[in-house]
Each structure stands twice: as C-alpha cells, then as structure tokens.
C-alpha cells in the first residue's frame, strides 16, 4: 500500500478514523474518505478528500474513484446491527456490489472488504477457521455472508478482493456498547456478565486490525486474494479480562456473574420493547466461547497481534476517562463512534 492512492469507504466511522491517523505514517500517497455520516473534519488533515457519497450511488462512487485515481479501496462502509433491516441489507450488499462494480470500471488494483466473524453465527466448535460453515445471526450477520459472496463473484472475474474477518475491535475513540461498560466501570459499579464468565471471548485492538489491512493491501495479489480471520492472540476468560479492567479502575468496580437464561430472556424482552440498546448478537453470544484461529493470516501474510484483550480494554478505557466530560455533551446515536442511549439499563445501573 506504500505509495498508493487509497479510498476508505465508511471513512467517518471508528475504523475509518483510525485508518486516517495510521496509514499516512506508513507512506500512502493519497487518501480519500466517503460516508453518509458527518465527518469530524478536525480529525482529518486538510489535504484529505472527505466526500458525503453513498456507496449505493453508482455515479457518485464512479466519480470519486475515477477523479481521484484511486488504486486501493478499503471497504469499511456498513450499516450496523441497530440500523433498520432494509438499510442493513441495502448498504451492506448492494453498496458493496456497487463499490466493486465502479472499482472494476476504474481499474482499481484491489478492494479490501472488512467483513466480520459474525458470519460464523454461534457455533459449538472452536477455534473457528476460515473454511468453517457460515451461519449469520440477524440481518447484519446475514448481510456480511452475502457480501462475501459478492466478493467471490468479483474474484472470479479477476479482481483482487481480500476479505478480512475481524473479531469485535476496540481502541481509542471506540464507544457504542463499550461506552456503557466503561461508564459502569468508571462509576465503581458491579459489572454484570451473562453467565459465570468462564467462556473465552476474543477481542481485537484496532491497531492490530490496521496491521492486517496493511498486509492485505501490500502482499502479492495471489497471496492476499483470500479470506483471513483476525483476532487477539492473547485472551482469557471473560471474568478475568473484564476483571482486569475493573482492577485497573481501582474504584470498587467488580465482575458480577448472572444466570444466563434469566438475563437473556429479560434482554430479549427489552430489545423487543425497544428500551435497551443491546441486540441479540451482543447478549446471545456473551456467555459463549467465541474465538478464531489466526494461523492462516500469520502464515500467509506474516501478521501477529501486539495487544491482548486486557491491553485493548484498558487502553480504550483510558481514552474514555480522558474524554468522558466532552462525551456527555454529544447526542446519543447508533454507531461505534458515539455513546448509545442506555435506556432501561440506566435503572439497573442504580442498583449495582
């Protein structure tokens, strides 16, 4: 990717923000970003192109790619699980197909698709490898599976379309559901975990994800044109990883196991009533093992993670502590870069 002209779709999001901060230091020649969400322009250098272009807009995407002589696209654009189903399917499938179509017309060298380990569903077998069956949970998981199918179609037509399947990734400026965790920990509350917390739940620090993207964009096409899992190589039981975060806070916050069937049932009702921000993928997998093998990306691209689950959680929490006062003035939303309305969870927080 060094010396290349790069477009990041979904560039106003959490990963787009970090790519903007990171890739120039690695030597990319030019960067453009597009999103339908507003950009925090002060976070992007003045010479970057920030375009409010929808990935479903054929003419807009063609002009953005063609006029800026884009050579590599990192496709981060996605409607997240809290979005309406129709928007998720349209953005995540039709938007991806349109991006690939316009990239093909403009002779783009490669398009790196950011998929998700959500494509695996909630299997019993672990660690998960790239050839394991896919079974998405909810519209988001289903849309990512379909998106990978679109990538496969274009790969058959001769395009280089690496697919990255990251675990849930966090880091500085990551809010969303993690802002709720950080708020509770900062308040010195008991932190309810679904079940006993003996399950292994792998996370990923965003810097390690960017390393994987860089390698997928830099390796020879015949090596990079594949599907790769990415996740922290050091992770522990949920109760220990969250417990380490509580220990770091040093304010009395502590892990509190809960009966999984009862809590999941209650959260399902709250979700149906639209009074909780937690959706099925979050609470449905919280007490399950969830970790992937990274052997393939290690061997083919030479990737290694720098950060453990605990490193990632504590580093992200530190950023939250430094910015929590200004975050209180922001309006709640449904992306990973803003806090979510805790809804009924606020009531339970008082009792913790």
Q: How many helices (H) and strands (E) does the chain have?
A: 14, 11
In angstroms, the CA 259 to CA 306 distance is: 34
Is residue 317 within a helix (H) or strand (E), and if so which, with residue range? helix 309-327
Span between the terminal Cα atoms of the chain, in Å: 48
- Predicted local confidence at residue 174, as pLDDT: 85
Query: DSSP of 294-315, one letter per residue?
Result: -HHHHHHH-------HHHHHHH
Domain annotation for the chain: domains and CATH numbers? 5-161 (3.40.50.720), 171-200+233-289+308-351 (3.90.25.10)
- pLDDT given for residue 338 in this prediction: 63
Bridge partners for 160 per DSSP: 110
DSSP code of 76? -
Q: What residue has token string 């008991």?
A: 190
C-alpha radius of gyration, the chain, whole number: 20
Query: What are the phi and psi torsion angles at 253 (to 5°)?
Result: -60, 140
- Tell me which H or E stretch contains 208: helix 206-218
Beta bridge partners of 81: none
Q: Do 119 and 166 contact (CB within 8 A), yes or no?
A: no
Determine phi and psi for 152, rounding to 5 degrees.
-60, -40
CA–CA gap between residue 257 and residue 255 (Å, rounded): 7
Residuewise pLDDT in 10s, the chain (352 residues)? 999 999 999 999 999 999 999 999 999 999 999 999 988 888 888 889 999 999 999 999 999 999 999 999 999 999 988 889 999 999 999 999 999 999 999 999 999 999 999 999 988 899 999 999 999 888 999 999 999 999 999 999 999 999 999 999 999 988 888 999 999 999 999 999 999 999 999 999 999 999 999 999 999 999 999 999 999 999 999 999 999 999 999 999 999 999 999 999 999 999 999 999 888 878 888 999 999 999 999 999 999 999 999 999 999 999 999 988 887 777 766 566 666 788 888 888 887 7
Q: What local confidence, expressed as pLDDT, does residue 137 receive?
A: 80
Cα 263 from Cα 241, distance rounded (Å): 21
Give the per-residue SS3 of 126-170.
CCECCCCCCCCCHHHHHHHHHHHHHHHHHHHCCCECCEEEECCEE
Ramachandran area for residue 343 (φ above 0: left; ψ -120 to 50: alpha; else beta): left
d(CA 18, CA 25): 12
Cβ atoms of residues 317 and 185 within 8 Å: yes
Please spell the DSSP secondary structure of 25-46, one letter per residue.
HHT-SEEEEE-SSPP-GGGS-T
Q: In the structure encoding, which two tokens stand for residue 295, read together?
A: 């052997």
Contact 245, 317 (CB under 8 A): yes
How far is the C-alpha of 239 from the C-alpha of 85, rounded, in Å? 33
Nearest to 56 by CA among 75, 74, 71, 32: 75
């Amino acid at each position: 990717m060094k010396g290349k002209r790069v477009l990041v779709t979904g560039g106003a999001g959490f990963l787009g923000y970090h790519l903007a901060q990171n890739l120039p230091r690695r030597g990319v020649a030019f960067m453009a970003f597009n999103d339908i969400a507003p950009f925090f322009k002060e976070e992007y250098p003045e010479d970057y192109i920030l375009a409010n272009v929808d990935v479903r807009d054929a003419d807009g995407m063609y002009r953005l790619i063609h006029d800026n002589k884009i050579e590599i696209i990192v496709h981060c654009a996605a409607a997240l699980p809290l979005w309406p189903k129709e928007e998720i399917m349209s953005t995540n499938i039709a938007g991806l197909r349109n991006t690939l179509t316009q990239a093909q017309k403009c002779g783009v060298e490669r398009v790196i698709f950011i998929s998700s380990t959500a494509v695996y569903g909630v299997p019993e077998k672990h660690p998960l490898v790239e050839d394991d069956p896919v079974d998405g949970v909810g519209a988001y998981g289903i849309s990512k599976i379909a998106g990978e199918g679109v990538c496969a179609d274009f790969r058959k037509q001769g395009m280089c379309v690496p697919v990255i399947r990251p675990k849930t990734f966090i880091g500085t400026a990551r809010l969303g559901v993690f802002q709720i965790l950080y708020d509770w920990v900062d308040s010195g509350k008991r932190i309810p975990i679904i079940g006993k917390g003996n399950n292994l739940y792998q996370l990923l620090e965003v810097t390690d994800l960017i390393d994987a993207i860089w390698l997928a964009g830099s390796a020879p096409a015949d090596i990079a044109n594949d599907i790769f899992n990415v996740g922290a190589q050091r992770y522990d039981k949920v109760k220990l990883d969250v417990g380490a975060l509580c220990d770091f806070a040093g304010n009395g916050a502590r892990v509190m196991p809960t009966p999984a069937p009862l809590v999941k049932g209650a959260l399902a009702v709250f979700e149906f009533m639209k009074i909780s921000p937690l959706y099925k993928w979050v609470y449905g997998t919280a007490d399950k093992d969830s970790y992937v093998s990274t052997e393939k990306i290690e061997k083919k691209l030479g990737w290694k993670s720098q950060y453990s689950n605990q490193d990632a959680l504590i580093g992200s929490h530190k950023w939250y502590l430094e910015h929590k006062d200004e975050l209180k003035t922001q309006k709640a939303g449904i992306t990973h870069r803003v806090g979510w309305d805790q809804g009924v969870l606020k009531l339970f927080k008082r009792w913790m």
